[in-house]
Amino acid sequence: MKIIRIPVLSDNYVFVLFDENKKIAAVVDPAVAEPVLECLRELNAELIAIFNTHHHWDHVGGNKALLKHFPKLCVYGGIEDKNRIPGQQVFLQEGDTVKFGDRVGQVFFVPGHTRGHIAYYFPPSDETEPGELFCGDTIFAGGCGRLFEGTPSQMVNSLSKLRALPDNTRIWCAHEYTLKNLQFALTVDRENTTLEARYKEIREARSKGIATVPSILGIEKQTNPFLRWDKSSLQAVTKMKEPARVFGRLRGMKDQF
């Protein structure tokens, strides 16, 4: 399964999954249609599926146009997003699976950013490969999504599920927010030398226009404060110990950053 990252809008990423043998494709969170159609033309591929993580317009804005070009494709989304995702035909919940080519993806229910958010995890096809996580706006490189419809407790529970995946999992998050996320992280995790080194690398990459997605889960666990609510340094900064309270205080601080 080849994954093609397409930058769209001001800072979104759309991901096209491509099966080279079958010449079929799927797309994750198509904010707009035309860049996806251009990619499909270059690949000479038929689009068979849209995998939506949640209902926000910058994740589903291209659904209707893609359906016009490929009326037989199937639109997937969470069951809690019924009537909120254009063209949705399959209503997924925790523990369901989706298939693309010869790969089977696992569905996680990860509310917090929205009440209906889901994530798709494709385990590695062999021991030498990483798994692929399409998490929408739940985890970002160095950060996490705002709590528009959920609570800190829900988000901690959601992030805990994703944090438990193998460390070499690649995180295909939907926005290029990494540099600012790490700038904030340095204000709350000041003694983290791994974070300092990562920030320097990301700053250099972004100065050259290099994308920072995908990230790697193992790196996130070392440097992303929103996955580190159980670390004493962050508990000290927030003056909290209970996970949801630590997370909630960090999220509030980031909202004001």
- The DSSP secondary structure of 101-163, one letter per residue, reads TTEEEEEEE--SSSTT-EEEEE--SSTTS--EEEEETSEETTEE---SSS-HHHHHHHHHHHH
DSSP class of 175: B
**Whole-structure pTM value:** 0.96
Residue of 55, 81, 113, 117 with catalytic role: 113
Catalytic entry in 19, 29, 55, 59: 59
Active site residue: 55, 56, 81, 117, which one?
Answer: 56
Of the residues 29, 81, 96, 137, only one is catalytic, namely 137
pLDDT in tens, 152-203: 999 999 999 999 999 999 999 999 999 999 999 999 999 999 999 999 999 9
Catalytic residue at 56?
yes
Check if 54 is active-site.
Answer: yes
pLDDT at 33 exceeding the cut of 90: yes
* Residue 55 is a catalytic residue: no
Does the active-site annotation cover 175?
A: yes
The torsion angle over the Cα atoms of residues 67, 36, 130 and 250, rounded to 10 degrees, is -90
Told to judge if 69 belongs to the known catalytic residues of this protein, a careful annotator would answer: no
> Tokens 């972004």 sit at which residue?
206
Go through the domains of the chain in sequence order and give each one's CATH number.
2-255 (3.60.15.10)
User: What pLDDT, in 10s, does the model give residues 57-85?
Assistant: 999 999 999 999 999 999 999 999 999 99
Q: 81, 96, 175, 189: which is the annotated catalytic residue? A: 175
117: annotated active-site residue: no
